[in-house]
């Protein structure tokens, strides 16, 4: 018979410290393994058939001596029935992996993906919120409770088709985000095969091109020939929201950038408004050269006590997007009430909206000036050129853009000074 190890007491086991494998007795083959770093764990040495096995039973002291002996004894009984515990554990892990793969829903996968990757990459709170809100609004009703392993092209199309033509920019982002979640799911072993949300060579063959759809559904803009009249009517309107819309027009900025503008971002002496990266759509700081008209508007604005917001709401906080839109809507309603058509987009014949003013600025730069295309794109804070080109472009054309914004201000005031 093999020599039986001395049965150690709990205190004796606790006092073991030398690296190596220490037999503790009580059950044949039960040892406490101590590594060079001092980590300690239980191991049962046993022969299964013709194979020598070292079976882990947990770490010490999380698993006590008494618990380790009970586990080792149960393992010995299992081996006596002809079952290999190592093989059994492997099969259990594989079965668990299959069960997890089959049961992980899109919503569960997205939450993990969002926590483990997106939150670590994005710093802009608005963009983080958009990731969550777009998928909750559009993807969850169709995909939320569906296992990621089972999602197919038809499921993705069910999400996208209702909004592809009417909200194409949003739909395109939803598609990209679904694709990212499913790519992550595949990398995590939760699904196999091609990504059903991939565009190239896949949905590209089933949905209209975003470029064509977006051209048809872009934000309605004020026609250039009507712009001076519209701007004159805007300037007759009272209220901070009207001044915010006026400033938005003069700077060709986005509504959120204007509504969130703070006095400490603006240098009236140099005429520069520096929008921090966290408030920009592209996540990069953006400098806006202010025309004389824009500076005059700011100098005439009252500064609220204990409020750094340039265009605050009545509660001295950032006003809502709808507040600015309401000013534009009232101008349109007044024109229609007076029997005039108002300010309709030249292509869609829909009433112009605040974001469409950026399109008006872009049309003006392209059609009525000879300024370079890139300059207008930079003014709109659009990404220009490839990553390599952007890496070598050290200037944001600030002073040249200052001249362009002065010309734009002259145009909107009805003084169309051609370059």
Q: In whole angstroms, how far apart are CA 12 and each of 37, 65, 245? A: 20, 10, 79
Give the helix ranges, DSSP H, for 316-370. 321-337, 356-368
Distance CA 10, CA 171 (A): 64
Q: Is the peptide bond before 61 cis (omega within 30 degrees of 0)?
A: yes
* pLDDT-based confidence at residue 1 (cuts at 50, 70, 90): very low
Contact 32, 25 (CB under 8 A): no
Lookup result for tokens 């701007």: 231
Average pLDDT of the residues in 314-338 = 95
Burial letters for 348-377: b for 16+ Cβ neighbours within 10 Å, e otherwise? eeebbbbbbbbbbbbbbbeeebebeeebbe
The CA dihedral of 253, 255, 257, 259, to the nearest 10 degrees, is 130
Per CATH, the number for 10-96 is 3.30.160.390
- Per-residue CA distances from 187 to 114, 151, 196, 388 (Å): 15, 15, 15, 29
Q: Which DSSP category does 306 fall into?
A: T
Task: Write phi, then psi, for 124 (nearest 5 degrees).
Answer: -80, 115
Return the pLDDT at 392.
43
Residue 236 has pLDDT above 50, yes or no: yes
For residue 419, what are its two tokens? 């370059």
| Number of CB atoms found within 10 A of residue 27's CB | 20
Contact indicator for 381, 282 with CB cutoff of 8 Å: yes
Give the CA distances from residue 154 to residues 144, 159, 191, 254, 339, in Å, rounded to whole numbers and listed in that order. 15, 9, 16, 36, 48
Going by pLDDT thresholds of 50, 70 and 90, the confidence category of residue 107 is: very high
Token pair belonging to 180:
């990212």
The CATH architecture that domain 224-412 belongs to is Orthogonal Bundle (1.10)
Q: Which helix (H) or strand (E) holds 297?
A: helix 292-300
What is the second-level CATH architecture of the domain 104-216?
Orthogonal Bundle (1.10)
Mean pLDDT of 370-375: 91
Nearest to 252 by CA among 296, 293, 310, 301: 293
Average pLDDT of span 305-332: 94
| Per-domain boundaries in the chain | 10-96, 104-216, 224-412
Reply yes or no on whether the pLDDT at 366 is more than 80. yes
- Torsion, Cα of 133, 137, 140, 143 (10° steps): -110
What contacts 205, CB < 8 A, 6 or more positions away?
none
Q: What pLDDT score was predicted for residue 391?
A: 47
How many CB atoms sit inside 10 A of residue 118's CB? 18
Average model confidence (pLDDT) across the chain:
88
- pLDDT value of residue 27: 86
Q: Using CA atoms, how far apart are residues 198 and 177, in angstroms rounded to an integer?
A: 10
pTM of the model: 0.56
Contact at 8 Å (CB) between 401 and 409? no
Alpha carbons 192 and 185: distance in angstroms, whole number: 9
Range scoring the smallest mean pLDDT among 10-19, 26-35, 392-401: 392-401
Residue with tokens 């839109």: 325
pLDDT of residue 54: 82
Q: Are 331 and 233 in contact (CB under 8 A)?
A: yes
**pLDDT tens column, 270-306:** 999 999 999 998 888 999 999 999 999 999 999 988 8
The 10s digit of each residue's pLDDT in 238-255 is: 999 999 999 999 999 999
Listed in sequence order, the residues at least 6 apart from 407 whose beta carbon sits closer than 8 Å to its beta carbon are 369, 417, 419
- Domain 104-216 matches domain 224-412 at the CATH topology level: no
Over residues 125-142, mean pLDDT? 90
Sequence-ordered list of residues with C-beta below 8 angstroms from that of 290, at least 6 positions apart, any chain = 250, 251, 266, 268, 271, 272, 273, 298, 405
Paired residues of 318 in beta bridges: 312
Can you tell me which residue has the tokens 């938005």? 248
Looking at residue 207, what is its pLDDT?
92
């Amino acid at each position: 018979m093999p020599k039986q190890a001395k049965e150690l007491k709990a205190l004796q086991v606790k006092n073991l410290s030398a690296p190596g494998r220490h037999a503790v007795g009580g059950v044949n083959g039960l040892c406490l393994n101590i590594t060079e770093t001092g980590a300690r764990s239980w191991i049962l040495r046993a022969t299964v058939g013709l194979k020598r096995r070292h079976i882990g039973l947990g770490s010490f002291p999380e698993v006590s001596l008494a618990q380790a002996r009970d586990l080792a004894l149960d393992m010995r009984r299992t081996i006596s029935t002809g079952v290999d515990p190592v093989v059994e554990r492997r099969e259990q892990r594989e079965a668990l992996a299959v069960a997890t793969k089959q049961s992980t829903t899109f919503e569960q996968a997205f939450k993990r993906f969002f926590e483990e990757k997106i939150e670590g990459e994005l710093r802009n709170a608005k963009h983080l919120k958009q990731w969550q809100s777009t998928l909750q609004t559009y993807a969850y009703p169709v995909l939320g409770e569906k296992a990621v392993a089972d999602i197919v092209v038809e499921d993705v199309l069910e999400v996208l088709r209702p909004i592809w033509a009417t909200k194409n920019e949003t739909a395109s982002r939803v598609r990209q985000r679904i694709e990212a979640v499913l790519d992550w799911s595949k990398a995590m072993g939760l699904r196999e095969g091609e990504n059903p949300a991939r565009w190239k060579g896949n949905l590209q063959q089933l949905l209209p091109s975003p470029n064509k759809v977006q051209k048809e559904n872009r934000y309605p803009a004020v026609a250039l020939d009507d712009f001076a009249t519209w701007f004159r009517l805007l300037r007759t309107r009272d209220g901070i929201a009207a001044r915010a819309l006026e400033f938005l027009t003069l700077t060709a900025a986005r509504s959120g950038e204007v509504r969130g503008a703070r006095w400490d971002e603006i240098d009236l002496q140099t005429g520069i408004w520096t929008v921090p990266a966290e408030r920009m759509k592209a996540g990069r700081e953006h400098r806006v050269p202010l025309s004389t008209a824009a500076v005059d508007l700011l100098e005439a604005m009252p500064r609220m006590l204990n409020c750094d917001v340039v265009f605050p709401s009545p509660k001295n906080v950032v006003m809502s997007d709808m507040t600015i839109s309401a000013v534009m809507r009232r101008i349109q309603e007044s024109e229609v009430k007076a029997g005039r058509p108002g300010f309709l987009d030249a292509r869609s014949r829909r009433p112009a909206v605040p974001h469409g003013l950026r399109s008006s600025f872009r049309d003006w730069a392209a059609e009525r000036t000879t300024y370079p295309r890139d300059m207008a794109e930079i003014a709109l804070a659009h990404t220009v050129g490839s990553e390599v080109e952007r890496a070598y472009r050290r200037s944001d054309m600030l002073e040249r853009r200052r001249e362009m914004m002065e010309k734009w201000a002259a145009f909107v005031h009805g003084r169309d000074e051609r370059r």
